[in-house]
Amino acid sequence: MLSNKVKSFVAAVTLAGGLAAAAQADTLQVGANIGNVPWEFQDETGANVGFEVDLVNEVASRLGHDVEINNIPFNGLFSAVQSGRIDIAISSITITEERLKSVTFAQPYYDSDQSLTTVEGGPTSLAEMKGKVVGVDTGSTGDMWASQREAEIGVTEIRRYEGLAPAMLDLAAGRIEGYISDIPALLYYVKDKPNLKVVARLETGERYSMMFKKDSELASQVNGVLTELKQEGFIAGLHEKWFGAAPEETTSTVAVMEMP
């Protein structure tokens, strides 16, 4: 027979193990491609920050969980969430019909359309780009969008760049009159540059959300919290914080939407 001391020790170990398991269960493992500015990246102190970091922390808090962020390359997020190694994947992940065959998404919270950026005093709409030179990133969604509509827009030239920085230099210098690229990247870039402005959203239908294992119960729980956060204006506040501008009322940042 076990002595009372041994019984007490066993009971204490069992209780401690149970508490540890409970604590672990209360921590959501979140996968993110750290370095994806402004969605998830490290600040000067090494802390993980960004739009989606703020959002997933708030969602987890309302569900009674802590968050542990795992730095995973973008392509690795899909297998990590499917295998259960992580509970949630973030990193400006676009909802697609093909992806929905193998994973589950909560409702979207960001419309990642293209945009037209110009200098102060320059064109204020796509129509005003007629007869002018527009810049794009080589092979990007913006490049494809502009190339398909070159005659319709009436630009004299589509000038291609390898990244945002050289295009912005040419825009500021007047060598191009407009630049078409992803709206989140441009909103973040111009928020402290009064001489530049995003003047038009060019709809492509891309929307971002959190990704989960197929048919995950957690996805439905998170979806409910996202509805609350939209209704309270919390996600709109994150948009202003990270992009320096209020979101449009019709976008998924504000509008409550169905779970895909």
Residue range 78-129, pLDDT digits in tens: 999 999 999 999 999 989 999 999 999 999 999 988 999 999 999 999 999 9
Q: Is residue 259 part of a domain?
A: no
User: Are both 198 and 150 inside the same structural domain?
Assistant: yes
- List the domain range (segments joined by +) for residue 171: 114-202
* Domain termination residue (choose one: 169, 202, 235): 202
The pLDDT of residue 258 is above 50:
yes
Query: b vs e for 163-172, b when ≥16 Cβ sit within 10 Å of the residue's Cβ?
Result: ebeebbebbe
Mean pLDDT of 129-142: 93
Q: Is residue 17 part of a domain?
A: yes
Q: Is residue 256 part of a domain?
A: no
**SS3 label, residue 97:** coil
**SS3 label, residue 170:** helix
Q: Is residue 22 part of a domain?
A: yes
Number of domains in the chain: 2
Instruction: Detail the DSSP E strand segments found in 80-215.
Output: 88-94, 103-105, 110-111, 114-119, 133-137, 157-161, 178-182, 196-202, 207-213
Instruction: Detail the DSSP E strand segments found in 76-167.
Output: 88-94, 103-105, 110-111, 114-119, 133-137, 157-161
User: Are both 8 and 107 inside the same structural domain?
Assistant: yes
Cα distances (Å, whole numbers) of residue 229 to 103, 115, 223, 234, 252: 23, 26, 10, 5, 12
User: Are both 135 and 193 inside the same structural domain?
Assistant: yes
**SS3 label, residue 83:** helix
The pLDDT of residue 1 is above 70:
no
- Residue 74: give its domain's CATH number: 3.40.190.10
Mean pLDDT of 64-75: 95
User: What local confidence, expressed as pLDDT, does residue 161 receive?
Assistant: 93
**Which of 35-44, 169-178, 228-237 is predicted with the least confidence, judged by mean pLDDT?**
35-44
User: What local confidence, expressed as pLDDT, does residue 218 receive?
Assistant: 98
The pLDDT of residue 244 is above 50:
yes
Q: Is residue 258 part of a domain?
A: no
User: Are both 96 and 135 inside the same structural domain?
Assistant: no
**SS3 label, residue 158:** strand
- In the chain, what percentage of residues exceed pLDDT 90? 78
User: Are both 230 and 162 inside the same structural domain?
Assistant: no
Q: Is residue 249 part of a domain?
A: no
User: Are both 15 and 44 inside the same structural domain?
Assistant: yes
- In the chain, what percentage of residues exceed pLDDT 70? 90
User: What local confidence, expressed as pLDDT, does residue 245 receive?
Assistant: 86
**Which CB contacts under 8 angstroms, 24+ apart, belong to 49-53?**
50/242, 51/110, 51/238, 51/239, 51/241, 51/242, 52/90, 52/91, 52/92, 52/210, 53/90
User: Are both 94 and 119 inside the same structural domain?
Assistant: no
Please write the tens of the pLDDT for every residue from 10-62: 444 444 444 444 344 489 999 999 988 899 999 999 999 999 999 999 999 99
User: Are both 126 and 91 inside the same structural domain?
Assistant: no
User: Are both 32 and 100 inside the same structural domain?
Assistant: yes
User: What local confidence, expressed as pLDDT, does residue 3 receive?
Assistant: 52
Q: Is residue 257 part of a domain?
A: no
Q: Is residue 260 part of a domain?
A: no
Average pLDDT, the chain: 90
Instruction: Answer with the residue of higher pLDDT: 99 or 9.
Output: 99
The pLDDT of residue 8 is above 70:
no
Instruction: Answer with the residue of higher pLDDT: 109 or 204.
Output: 109
User: Are both 48 and 164 inside the same structural domain?
Assistant: no
The pLDDT of residue 7 is above 80:
no
Question: pTM for this one?
Answer: 0.75
User: Are both 93 and 215 inside the same structural domain?
Assistant: yes
User: Are both 101 and 122 inside the same structural domain?
Assistant: no
